[in-house]
Amino acid sequence: MLNSWKLKEIVLMSLFGVVFGIIYLLFIHLGNIWAGLIGPIAYEWMFGIWFIVSIICMHIIRKPGAAFLPETLAAIIEVMLGNAVGPRLILSGVIQGLGAEAAFAVTRYRHFNIFVFMLAGIGAAVFSFIYGYFVSGYAALDPSFVALMFTLRVLSGAIIAGIGGKYIGDALLATGSLRGYAIAKPAARDANA
């Protein structure tokens, strides 16, 4: 999978992983204090933040793996920075990355428009929720409360990660620093995206 990747794309992913790793950690700590007040549902509406690096990197690089790998790298870097969520972050990073990757794989890496990005955000939300259901024991909660959590997470994935990721990617393209990447080459078949 990595043979078609240029080194600069991999280093780019990793540096984005660092920037977003810090942001992710910041929000975990915010979320934790918040969660003390209103319980685990505190995380749900802002869950999309944790999926965003997948969408930004896929928007820029447009190669198979560009959603899964950066999320995983960001998680590894979060663990390297040292935090109390620890190694299980890598597992959740892998799962969230796979969720986002699934959406791009389903569309065969051909379309990179806002709908696919939102779908990727939803994919990450669904995958991470299934994992969270198991690890955090949501089975013990009232099904309607769990349904509310799920809806919030899916919406957050679609809006914060999908729309937000596209917005950041487009803003970056406007700075002109992405000239050597797939995002800057307008593909004829996806010109209207």
Partner 1 sequence: MRNLLHDMNPSIKFITVTIAMLGLAFFFNPWTPLLFFFSIIVLQLCCSRMDWKIWSLFMLPFAFGAFGYLWTTIVFAAETGGTVIWSAFGFDVTDEQWALALSLSFRVLAFSSLSLLFALTTDPVRFVMSLMQQLKLSPKLAYGVLVGYQFLPVLKDEFFQIQQAHRLRGAAVEKYWWQRLLGVRRIIIPMLAGAVRKAERAAFAMEARGFTGEPRKEYYQPVSLKLKDFGLASAILTLVIASSIAGAMLSA
Residues in the site for partner 1, rule: CB under 8 A?
A: 2, 5-8, 10-19, 23, 29, 32-33, 35-42, 56, 69, 73, 76-77, 79-88, 90-91, 134-137, 139-143, 145, 168, 171-172, 175, 177-178, 180
By C-beta, is 2 or 106 nearer to partner 1? 2
What contacts 100, CB < 8 A, 6 or more positions away?
51, 54, 55, 58, 67, 68, 71, 120, 121, 123, 124, 161
Q: What gap in Å lies between CA 50 and CA 36, rounded to an integer?
A: 20
Q: How far is the CB of 14 from partner 1 (least distance, A)?
A: 4
Q: How far is the CB of 141 from partner 1 (least distance, A)?
A: 5
Q: Which is nearer to partner 1, 52 or 120 (CB)?
A: 52
Is 39:141 a contact under the CB 8 Å cutoff? no
Shortest separation between residue 117's beta carbon and partner 1, angstroms: 17
CA–CA–CA angle 105, 110, 113 (5° rounding): 100
How far the first Cα of the chain sits from its last, in Å, is 26
Q: How far is the CB of 111 from partner 1 (least distance, A)?
A: 24
Q: Closer CB to partner 1, residue 5 or residue 115? A: 5
Name the residue nearer to partner 1 (CB basis): 36 or 186. 36
Q: Which of 148, 103, 158 is nearest to 125 (CA)?
A: 158
